[in-house]
Chains A and B, each alone.
Chain A
Amino acid sequence: MRRTVRAATALAFGLVILVPLFPLYWMVISALKGPEELQKAPPTWFPSHVTLSAFGEVFKAVPFGSAFLNSVLIAGVSTLSVLVTSVMAGFVFAKYRFRGRDLLFWSVVATMFLPPIVTLVPLYWLVSTMGLADSYLGVMLPWLANAFGIFLMRQFIADVPEELIEAARLDGASEARIVWQIVTPLLRPALVSLAIFAFVFYWNNFLWPLSILQSDDKFPVVLALSRLLSYSTSVQYQNVVMAGALIASVPTIVVFLLAQRVFVQSISRTGVKG
């Protein structure tokens, strides 16, 4: 009986590892196959002939290199901005007392659950009325602060001891100095996880760039990838599309692996509270 339970658990563990990873495996082997092998039905589960040619072609088919850099720029700037704005707002919500504070805070938190599709039309109108359609600033501007970051930072800043802040005030430290030189250094793990969350979110964000951008030289990598897919639907080009998909995924996978532990812990911290 015991042995059956153990065997079943081991089997379940195996599945829990295999099922999530199989599509990734398929992405990699499809990127490494040549056109002839891709046209084989049924498909081969291991490439009989490994070629890297698709990784060169993907940069010729669409401006994939500049798209990659666009994503670095868009995700990088948005992430930085979210970190700064969230620390400041989180500090106010955690450490200042004023009338209407909690109402304001929970109203902000409620926007965390708002699906972006609900406000897509007016957002498009607002940003294009500001003359920012089809621009980098237009892609980034609506996302330079978000409720999730504010919520996360407030939760962590609330744990910073009040005495520490009071002591700094008695020493004559300005409020700005308290935020950046006393509180922020204590938030290292929280900042790392917020940075990862934000970076992954902005790197993967598709609907908004799709709606606001027209010229391919400004496309982020996921948009270039969808364009690539529409040019090469035939199965013999699948290696090129898969190579593109792989390149587009590498940064988020690397970031995740580097900070996996912090990442998973911070979900535990924010996922369910109260």
Chain B
Amino acid sequence: MTVQTSHTARRGAAIAFLSPAMAVIVLFVAVPIALTFWISLHDWSMYTPLSQMTWRGLGNYADLLHSDDFLNALENTLVYVVIVLVTTVPLALALGMLLYFPKMAGKGVARAALFSTYVIPTVAIAIVWGALYAPDYGPLSQALGAVGIDSPAWLSDPQTALLSLGVFHVWQMTGYYTILVIAGLTQIPDDVYEAARIDGAGFWRQTFSVTLPLLRRTTTFIVLIAAINAIQVFDPVYILTQGGPAESTTVLSYAIQRAAFQNGMAGQASAMAFSLLLVLVAVAGVVLAAMRRRTAAEGRS
């Protein structure tokens, strides 16, 4: 076989191998992203043909800025993301170190238990959490009552409902992030710690001067993934609160689905969806740029 024919054969193979995956991704991911933007410039009910769309320009976006529903959903989403980030990230770092460093039996069991929450269908386990949170019949209120604490009404109180969903999210996802931390820890060579010990650094000193700085990439990645996962929370809201009570748990993804599929306002739903995408891109950009700048600064020093 000549070089020329093998080259042509390989080009044919490349096209054949790539096209199934690329067809799906282009048709069902790339095209829909563009369509989301296009639809967001129109008034349209999803259940009518595209020809019945009417042009609105940026009108839907202008409406969003004055829409109490959207602003409420945006605020709820932000609060939810903050609740999740400030708890899961430190917790995952602490648990990762706990399940990596000590020489103790049961590490494997603990890792498996922690990670198991991630594989169970959200719908199934959210139903269980609904029962755990139940005011009279639930174990949580009972346990708090036993130690003399007046239990909040959890999901039925607008003050605590969003927080309760956040607690569920933290319970469900922390195991996954912990495994990522453990993966990061395995990449730190032992001699770094040895050197620190010779310099007289104790446990806390090692944690803050060696472990955490060397885990920065992992941590950044976890912050990003955790934010993306929290921003799109839908299943538990749909199952447990339907956005209530008093709209206190209406987050963006729920508002988008409701506007499009229940209220027939696909244009406005798409404006929300595209805004969400822009926010995500901006957040990812900032986080990644910050990471790059830090890495560059370290390289120079």
Q: How would residues 228 to 240 of chain B score, 1 for a CB under 8 Å from any chain A CB and 0 otherwise?
A: 1001101100110
User: Are A27 and B128 in contact, CB atoms less than 8 angstroms apart?
Assistant: yes
B64 vs chain A, min Cβ distance (A): 15
B32 touches A123 (CB 8 A): yes
Q: How far is the CB of A210 from chain B (nearest CB, A)?
A: 8
List, in ascending order, chain A residues with CB within 8 A of B134's CB.
235
Q: Is B257 in contact with A252, judged by CB distance below 8 angstroms?
A: no
Partner of B29, one of A20, A119, A121, A242: A119
A21 CB within 8 Å of chain B: yes
Question: B74 to nearest A CB, angstroms?
Answer: 14
B27 touches A242 (CB 8 A): no
Asked whether A248 lies within 8 Å of B46 as measured between CB atoms, the reply is no
Distance between A112 CB and nearest chain B CB, rounded to angstroms: 10
With CB as the reference atom, state the residue of chain B lying closest to A16: B110
Mask of A1-40 contacts with B, CB within 8 angstroms, 1/0: 0000000011011001101110110110010000000111
B121 in contact (CB, < 8 A): yes
Residues from chain B with a CB closer than 8 A to the CB of A13 are 98, 104, 106-107, 110
Complex: A37 Cα to B212 Cα, angstroms: 49
Q: Which residues of A contact B72 (CB under 8 A)?
A: none
A122 at the interface (CB under 8 A from B): yes
Which residues of chain B are near A221, meaning CB under 8 Å? 121
Docked CA distance A26–B239 (Å): 18
Q: Given A117-B256, A145-B24 in contact, is the A26-B132 Cβ separation under 8 Å?
A: yes
Q: Does A77 contact B (CB under 8 A)?
A: no
**Chain B: minimal CB distance from A43 (Å):** 5
Contact residues on A (Cβ < 8 Å of other chain), bracket: 35 or more
Question: Across the interface, do A121 and B260 meet the contact criterion of CB distance under 8 Å?
Answer: yes
- Chain B interface helix/strand/loop/mixed: helix
A47-55, A58-66, A171-179: which one contacts chain B? A171-179
Quick one: closest A residue to B98, CB to CB? A12
Partner of B119, one of A38, A85, A226, A255: A255
Point out the residue from A10, A26, A115, A206 that lies within 8 Å of B232, measured CB to CB: A115
Assess whether A88 is in contact with B121, with CB atoms less than 8 Å apart. no
Task: For residue B30, give the distance in angstroms from its CB to the closest CB of chain A.
Answer: 8
User: Complex: how many Å from CA A120 to CA B238?
Assistant: 16
List, in ascending order, chain A residues with CB within 8 A of B139's CB: 26, 43, 45
**Distance between B177 CB and nearest chain A CB, rounded to angstroms:** 9
Asked if B182 and A268 make an inter-chain contact with CB atoms under 8 angstroms apart, the answer reads yes
Q: Does B89 contact A (CB under 8 A)?
A: no
- Alpha-carbon distance between A251 and B269 when the two chains are bound, in angstroms: 35
- Decide if B14 touches A92 in the complex (CB within 8 Å): yes
| B206 contacts chain A at the CB level, 8 A cutoff | no
Query: How far is A174 from B1 in the complex, measured between Cα atoms in Å?
Result: 12
Which A residues are CB-close (under 8 A) to B95? 16
- Indicate whether B276 reaches chain A with its CB closer than 8 angstroms: yes
Which of B120, B184, B238 meets A226, CB within 8 Å? B238
Q: Are B180 and A271 in contact (CB under 8 A)?
A: yes
Assembled-state Cα–Cα distance A89/B261 (Å): 35
- Known contacts: A20-B117, A85-B24. The answer to whether A249 contacts B124 by CB under 8 A is yes
Q: Is A160 an interface residue (CB 8 A)?
A: no
Q: Provide the residues of chain A in CB contact with B269, threshold 8 Å.
A: 121
B136 pairs with A264, CB closer than 8 A: no
Tell me the residues in window 19-37 of chain B with beta carbons closer than 8 Å to chain A beta carbons: 20-25, 27-33, 35-36
B contact residues around A249 at 8 Å (CB) = 120-121, 124-125
The reply to whether the CB of B115 lies closer than 8 angstroms to some CB of chain A is yes
Q: Does B9 contact A (CB under 8 A)?
A: yes
Residue of chain B at shortest CB distance from A116: B232
Alpha-carbon gap, A45 to B132, bound state (A): 11
- Tell me if B257 and A16 are in contact (CB < 8 A): no
Q: Is the CB of A175 within 8 A of B9?
A: yes
- Enumerate chain A residues within 8 angstroms of B14, measured Cβ to Cβ: 92, 96, 98
20 A-B pairs with CB atoms under 8 Å apart are A13-B110, A16-B95, A20-B113, A23-B117, A27-B128, A85-B20, A108-B25, A113-B224, A118-B273, A118-B276, A120-B260, A123-B32, A144-B24, A146-B25, A175-B10, A176-B13, A207-B257, A229-B239, A253-B119, A271-B221
Interface residues of A (CB under 8 A from B): 9-10, 12-13, 16-17, 19-21, 23-24, 26-27, 30, 38-43, 45, 84-86, 88-89, 91-92, 96, 98, 108, 111, 113-126, 141-147, 150, 169, 172, 174-176, 179, 200, 203-204, 206-207, 210-211, 221-222, 225-226, 229, 235, 238, 241-242, 244-246, 248-249, 252-253, 255-257, 260, 263-264, 267-269, 271-272
Task: Show the binding face of B for A, using Cβ within 8 Å.
Answer: 1, 6, 9-11, 13-14, 16-18, 20-25, 27-33, 35-36, 39, 46, 50, 95, 98-99, 102, 104, 106-107, 109-117, 119-125, 127-129, 131-132, 134, 136-139, 141-142, 145, 171, 175-176, 179-180, 182-184, 186, 217-218, 221, 224-225, 228, 231-232, 234-235, 238-239, 252-253, 256-257, 260-261, 266, 269-270, 273-274, 276-277, 280, 284
List 7 A-B pairs, minimum CB-CB distance, nearest first. Answer: A268-B183, A122-B35, A175-B13, A115-B232, A119-B32, A142-B28, A88-B17
